Structure 1
């Protein structure tokens, strides 16, 4: 049985499993909401406790079982985010996570540090909501991947396209497109290169996307066609069109879901094939956010 606060707001086709709790830390507070975008899933035993602040998750978010989320400030996740089982997500101070981010199982994100007695002169006081001290707010850019059992300390800013290896303890800011690991986490080269991602040409992206689309069409037994000159791909009966060309001029058709591989966006139509394709593609192949 779930315990659900009236401030829970769900998008289209959101799935919430059993034994989940959505409640306020302060039962007398009427401020703050739990907001989920379309096609999210919350697995068994997850617990959400927030007061005077919003919890926000974009479309196609997944939170796996027994994850604990709590805070007094806004906790916001973008589209296509994934949180592994038994994780702890804290927003005593503000927490903002970008699009397409993965937080591996048994991970922890902290935005405060408070236990040392203030009257005794404790020098460690971060992100405490009712005491003037150093901010513990955490910001994580788009396309972050914390592989598993990572810990993010209060006050950290993480750039876009960062990969944190298993058991990373992140205590300092991390710039864009960096691989880090260790305790404390430091940049680590893979094959002599510290960058997490390499640049792909439009042609390379098109060839890869064509293979993904072909596989999807074979699984679902639907029509698959393409134009190598325009770098466009079509799925189904005028249902999905994918273009991998920055100069492509998209036609105006309200019934087709268009995917722009270069901009990583799509036109959300809520049709059945679109939803199946999104769930097929999102795991690790490609990610798109709604226009």
Structure 2
């Protein structure tokens, strides 16, 4: 098994592997371009995003600066928006449904490290995928931790640290995030 295969399978892997280092560099070169292209050049910006991400819907907008690890492990549905300062550590897959919005400085982190210090000091790490359903809004400076799944119509309050999964139609807030309200969809 290659280190990339181990990484995507959620097993311990070596991030210093040459193939992974090359893929991260390619992503950084793409988001470096994205972060310097004028907002007026929508065609070029869209092309760079589509080249960077694994898959996208037709409508996508990302405000610069944007940063990620690999890009190819990010999949977004239709009508995706990420505001300034978004960071997605896509060591594992990150999937967004349709109509998702990320406020400024949102962090989506699939990467994680062993708790045991000897294992952690080895430099090896692992990751857990993140899935966000349709019609979700993640507030400013919120953090979504490895392995989290959010259902449809979820709102994550600003500054929340989401450490576990939540089902549909809820507002979550706090550190660690908990349900503070249920949403009654109008349609």
The reply to whether TM is greater than 0.5 is yes
Tell me the equivalent position of 1:160: 152
Q: 1:72: Cα distance to partner?
A: 7.4
Instruction: Determine the C-alpha separation between the residues in 1 that align with 2:150 and 2:158.
Output: 16
Structure 1 unmatched runs, 5+: 1-23, 129-134, 201-291
Whether the aligned pair in 1 keeps the contact of 2:54 and 2:71 (CA below 8 Å) is: no
Tell me the equivalent position of 1:102: 101
Q: 1:55: Cα distance to partner?
A: 2.5
Structure 2 unmatched runs, 5+: 1-19, 31-41
| Equivalent position to 1:26, from 13, 22, 25 | 22
Instruction: Determine the C-alpha separation between the residues in 2 that align with 1:72 and 1:61.
Output: 14
2:170 matches 1:174: no
Task: Write 1 or 2 for the structure with the bigger share of helix.
Answer: 2
| Equivalent position to 1:142, from 106, 110, 134 | 134
Tell me the equivalent position of 1:237: none
Alignment of 1:263-274 (within 5 A): none
Q: 1:199: Cα distance to partner?
A: 2.5
Q: 1:48: Cα distance to partner?
A: 10
Cα displacement string for residues 243-270 of structure 1 (whole angstroms, at most 9, x for unaligned residues)? xxxxxxxxxxxxxxxxxxxxxxxxxxxx
2:153 matches 1:198: no
Cα distance change, pair 161–47 in 1 and its aligned pair in 2 (3 A): closer
The Cα RMSD (Å) is: 3.7
Whether the aligned pair in 1 keeps the contact of 2:142 and 2:158 (CA below 8 Å) is: yes
Whether the aligned pair in 2 keeps the contact of 1:107 and 1:149 (CA below 8 Å) is: yes
Tell me the equivalent position of 1:185: 177
Tell me the equivalent position of 1:260: none
Q: 1:73: Cα distance to partner?
A: 5.9
Aligned length: 152
Structure with greater Cα Rg = 1
Instruction: Determine the C-alpha separation between the residues in 1 that align with 2:71 and 2:64.
Output: 22
Tell me the equivalent position of 1:59: 58
Cα displacement string for residues 101-129 of structure 1 (whole angstroms, at most 9, x for unaligned residues)? 001110100011137677x144xx9972x
Q: 1:74: Cα distance to partner?
A: 2.1
Cα distance change, pair 40–95 in 1 and its aligned pair in 2 (3 A): farther
TM-score normalised by length of structure 2: 0.68
